[in-house]
Amino acid sequence: MAAVLDPKAAGALMRAIDGYQGQPLTRAALLLSALLFQRPGNIRAMEWAWIDFEAAMMTIPAASMKRTIEGKINGRPHFVPLAPQAIEVLKEIHALTGHGRYVFPSARTGERPMSDATVGAALRRLGYTSDEMTAHGFRAMARTLLIERLPGIQADVIEAQLAHGKSGPLGAAYDRADYMEQRRQLMSIWANYLVQIKNGAEIIQFKQAGVAA
């Protein structure tokens, strides 16, 4: 699952997405893939019922997460705080698809979400081969740059936002509302960073430092 991991290359990717000339919904899916760094299946199958504009939160039901059957049935939902940039993208496309179930409905029928190949095809259209960047690569891009380039972000907070499972007796409790304030800060810091590198801001590598949980 190839990914862009260098800040300058990531900035170039964000500029390419910003100038995408294809369908508006596909461009929005690319932007939200970068801003939210959730699994591609959760991006393309995103439902308007999951979005709370007032609370600036997306809540993905447990049944829609990559989990065991037990986790899907009895697990807690996954919370994704929405930075202002993500809210802006969602509000822009609400006028297009807000009347239906899916944020990104299929072009053929609104009864299904967009194809799992759409974001990948858009990346190819932007000139990125499958060996350079993939839909899943936005997750690796976020995790790498957050850890290596931004100060004061605790790895556990990033892992919670990625919805990575945690072994041990705590198990699924890891992805509850723990670290929620830090996760809100994380998503805002990340969205602002994407804007900065898109605009060609100077990239400074910080020493890794943990934010208190």
Residue 85, domain CATH: 1.10.443.10
In the set 174, 179, 193, 198, the catalytic residue is: 174
For residue 211, being part of any structural domain is answered with: no
The answer to whether 43 and 64 are in contact (CB under 8 A) is no
SS3 61: coil
- Residue 66 annotated among the catalytic residues of the structure: yes
pLDDT at 131: 96
Task: Decide if pLDDT at 50 tops 60.
Answer: yes
Helix (H, G, I), strand (E, B) or coil at 52: strand
The pLDDT score that the predictor gives to residue 165 is: 61
Residue 207 lies in a domain: no
Taking the C-alpha atoms of residue 87 and residue 42, their distance in angstroms, rounded to an integer, is 17
Report how many domains make up the chain: 1
Comparing 111 with 125, the larger pLDDT belongs to: 125
pLDDT band of 70, cuts 50, 70, 90: low
32: Cβ contacts below 8 Å, ≥ 6 apart: 43, 46, 86, 89, 90
Q: Is residue 206 part of a domain?
A: no
Average pLDDT over residues 174-180: 65
- The verdict on residue 209 lying in a domain is no
- pLDDT confidence bin for 151, thresholds 50/70/90: confident
Residue 29 near residue 104 (C-beta atoms within 8 A): yes
- The answer to whether 44 is a known catalytic residue is no
Instruction: Choose the catalytic residue: 44, 78, 136, 183.
Output: 136
Q: Give a yes or no: residue 2 inside a domain.
A: no
The CA–CA distances, whole Å, from 32 to 43, 90, 136, 174 equal: 7, 9, 12, 24
The pLDDT value recorded for residue 143 is 96
In a domain, 39, yes or no: yes
Residue 193 annotated as catalytic: no
* Known catalytic residue at 94: no
- pLDDT (mean) for 110-127: 93
Q: Is the pLDDT of residue 71 over 80?
A: no
108 is a domain residue: yes
Mean pLDDT, range 18-30, rounded to an integer: 96
Contact between 98 and 48 under an 8 Å Cβ cutoff? The reply is: yes
Q: Pick the catalytic residue: 101, 164, 176, 184? A: 164
Domain hosting residue 33, numbered range: 7-198
Q: How would residue 201 be classed by pLDDT, with cut points 50, 70 and 90?
A: confident
Q: Residue 169's pLDDT is what?
A: 47
Assess if residue 205 is contained within a domain: no
